[in-house]
Structure 1
Amino acid sequence: MSEIVHKYRVLIVASHPVQYAAPLFKLMAKHPQLDIKVAYCSLQGVKAGFDAGFGVEIAWDIPLLDGYSWVEVENNSPKPQLGNFFGLINLGLWNLISKDNFDAVIVYTGYTYFSFWIAAVATKLTGKKFLFSTDSSGIEPRNKKRWKTWLKKMLLPLIFQLADIVLVTSTPGQKTVRSLGITEQHIALTPFVVDNSRWTSQADQVDVKTVRKHWSIPENGNVILFCAKLQPWKRPQDVLKAFAKANVPNSYLVFAGEGLLREELEAKAETSGIKDRVRFIGFVNQSELPSIYRSADLFILPSEYEPFGVVVNEAMLCGCPVIVSDKVGAGYDLVRHGKNGFVYPCGDIDGLAKIFKEILPDHERLQKMGNAATERMQSWSPKESIEAIVQALEKSKY
């Protein structure tokens, strides 16, 4: 006699379609224990919009709304925008949550939006299970203002106690939520993932010789890749300084991304005498990223503030070993120092240059580390993340 499988009806509230989350929703829709609907507070990402971090208008070029049930909830904000508390005021969430018979509501819209609180109150008042996700790996804010840290210590325990289960995306996030007084029973680690199969399959089709020719880089060159917003907290200037200091023969540095530091970096490359070995290729959309990662020998994310850093997933899936600062959340779960990448103290230019000198000329070791990077990602995949969500729903019943 076959066992009866309970199917959870789940409403997922999301601020907007995200290139990492949409493939996960598509896979969740196929899970035998899940019946999901996604409520979007905005369709920015599908529709072109200005991204303040990149400094350009973007729309992602992969399907974000296919393969799962979704609805756009009208935004009643007088000034609709992402990144502002009153930029998302989706009053329709109240009726959607209170009138439908969902078992649980999972909110991916942060508590820094008004719509989070609409969803939270509606869920609690109607007796449904309330789960929400946080990608935080610490409580220190990006601008490092002490009053914000103090305020978070006061308020976050109260906010997290609203949830039946807090979904965290990394081991540091798990430790942070636990340190705020939330018990293990009310925490679930749901790995921050991308669509692993898409990344690996597309990476396998890349013609590295053609890509490097487009970059005007020799096929046998040693290529370091920085792929992120050119913003101060990402510290792209550290990579440039360390690259110049290391001065490894036949080495090249590629910056993929846009942001307010681009002109400064271009000027610094020229004054440092390395302009001919540095490439700025601008913003790269999702469909083109696998070719960027696969054509590099080494990926670097030197951020001083990075709750996770899902670009690390992308690079590793494309067979590229990684270097991350000790402020990058992904480093704790994904990077094995000296095996599939390196972790160094944030801001340590000399230390970073030393790593460049050590690893860049050693192509055999780079290849082994790249293979180890791909292998690591086999157990950090959508499968583990979705199963963790299902287990969280199971826990929330008790």
Structure 2
Amino acid sequence: MNKKLAIVSTHPIQYYAPVFKLLAQEIEIKIFYTQGDYSLNKFDLGFKQKIEWDLPLLDGYDYTFVENNAKDRGTHHFNGINNPTLITQIKDYQPQAVLVYGWAWKSHLKAIRYFKGRIPVYFRGDSTLFSKTSKWKTLFKPLFLKWVYSHVDLAFYVGKANKAYFKKYGLNEKQLVFAPHAIDNERFSENRAVEVSALREKLGIGNEEVLLLFSGKFDMIKNPDILLDAFLKLDLKNVYLLFVGNGALEEKLKATSEKQKTNNNRIYFMDFQNQTQMPSIYQACDLFCLPSRSETWGLAVNEAMACGKAILVSDQVGCAIDLVKPQVNGDIFKSEDLEDLKNKLLSFVANKSRLVTFGETSKTIIKDWSFERQVMILLQTINV
């Protein structure tokens, strides 16, 4: 293979590494990780702990960790990714095209601007129009983003909400190619019946009772508070709630649940669980809920669907329009509307057999949202 694709990404991510591995089997690629030495950057601000993923994220493809000399290194702000040698290293690699994941860091934007007009610049991001901004940003944002995307030759969009975002900020239909957001469907769909039975037994949940699951960061954006509030107010004796994760709201959530003496024996908390444990947890639940105030996509929904689960999400979750079909495999409630959430929860938990049917449909819907399909589209489009 003598044709090369350079890929710019911040750090090894469990949803991207399998894509890179599959790509490397077909073309020559090199990943330029811009956050710096992976071993030094494993503290997750959202989970408020060091995260050691238990799946290999660096196997099967060529990569390098580009030196990052930012004073406050990380993906949480624009200047947290500052790599003076990035462009030189990419040029030395002599690629025929470059694919950049995200522009909102100093070095990524600089690379997009530099290579525009020199080699094809491809872009991958999942932003939507859902996020709210201040008035002055509302005036400035369109001009700025149109300028940013004027340096992109083609963008791979992850779903309909993401496509609408790209079109609003200057990219036309011919510059947009759908490449689905994906997870490892096969691994999540593997039968975990023994582990599922053990977990439900440990929690004291019978086969006819309903387990509602929230998994993710306990923060204001994910909005687990409203799910807890709805659960407590409904007070349904045959329904249990499991929170899996950690984060800034953890103490508040636990304190609130402890105050409710009639409910707290049906509310459970588990710390952050790694990738190999999550399929069993999803499969143990009956309904997965993501009540976010703002969510560009929500790959946890993909994971739950691959596990064959019914889905309830807010209308501010990016994947809702693509993956959640009301009254077919789940439902969508109005973000931050407690009454709407309560009504939809009540409708779901009243009929467990319907949850099973919805879950089977979820598994069918998510089948084509795969790494293999994403890679096939990338290869057909880039054609380096």
Q: Per the shorter chain, which TM-score range?
A: over 0.9
Aligned-residue RMSD, C-alpha: 2.0
Q: For residues 117-196 of structure 1, what are the structure 2 equivalents within 5 Å?
A: 117-124=109-116, 127-138=118-129, 140-141=131-132, 144-196=133-185
Task: Using structure 1 for the length normalisation, give the TM-score.
Answer: 0.90
Deviation of residue 39 (structure 1)? 1.2
The 1:318–1:43 alpha-carbon spacing in structure 2 relative to 1, beyond 3 Å, is farther
The one-letter amino acid of 1:56's match is Q
In the TM superposition, what are the counterparts of 1:346-357 in structure 2 within 5 Å? 346-357=335-346
Q: Matched residues, percent identical? A: 33
Matched, 1:256 2:244: yes
C-alpha distance in 2 between matches for 1:118 and 1:80: 17
Indicate yes or no: 2:1 matched with 1:10.
Answer: no
Measure the CA separation in 2 of the matches of 1:180 and 1:79: 30
1:391: how far off? 3.5
1:393 is aligned with what amino acid?
I
Q: How does 1:1-398 map to 2 (within 5 A)?
A: 8-31=3-26, 34-42=27-35, 49-108=42-101, 110-124=102-116, 127-138=118-129, 140-141=131-132, 144-201=133-190, 203-204=191-192, 206-273=194-261, 274-394=263-383
Once the two structures are superposed, residues 11-47 of structure 1 have per-residue CA deviations (whole angstroms, 9 ceiling, x without a partner) of 111100011111111122223xx32211111367665
Q: Give the distance between the partners of 2:252 and 2:236, measured in 1 at CA.
A: 23
The CA deviation string for residues 210-247 of structure 1, in whole angstroms up to 9 with x for no partner, is 01233343444310000111101111111111112222
Which residue identity lines up with residue 333 of structure 2 in the other structure?
Answer: Y
Q: TM-score scaled to structure 2, two decimals?
A: 0.94
Distance 2:202 2:212 in 1: 16
Deviation at 1:388, TM superposition (A): 2.3
Deviations 1:338-391 (A, max 9, x none): 111111111221222222222213222111111110111112111221222223
Range 212-221 or range 374-383, more displaced: 212-221
Are the counterparts in 2 of residues 24 and 195 from structure 1 also a CA contact under 8 Å?
no
Quick check: 1:224–1:253 contact (8 Å CA) kept in 2? yes
Asked if the contact 1:191/1:380 (under 8 Å) is kept, the reply is yes
Amino acid at match of 2:215: C
Alpha carbons of 1:347 and 1:44: their partners in 2 closer, same or farther (altered >3 Å)? Answer: farther
Could you tell me how far apart the structure 1 residues matched to 2:140 and 2:21 are? 37
Q: What whole-Å deviation, never above 9, does each CA across 1:144-187 have from its counterpart, x for those lacking one? A: 32323332212001111101102221111111211223211111
| 1: CA distance, partners of 2:17 / 2:230 | 36
* Equivalent position amino acid for 1:346 in 2: S
Q: Is the 8 A contact 2:37 2:66 kept in 1?
A: no
Q: Residue type of the partner of 2:120?
A: K
- Look up the match of 1:3: none
Gaps of 5+ in 1: 1-5
What is the one-letter code of the residue matched to 2:51? Answer: I
Number of residue pairs the alignment of both structures matches: 383
Q: 1:358 to 1:45 in 2, by over 3 A?
A: farther
Alignment-mate amino acid for residue 97 of structure 1: I
Any unmatched runs of 5+ in structure 2? none
Residue 287 of structure 1 aligns to a residue whose secondary structure is coil
2-structure distance, mates of 1:117, 1:207: 45
Letter in 2 for 1:118: K
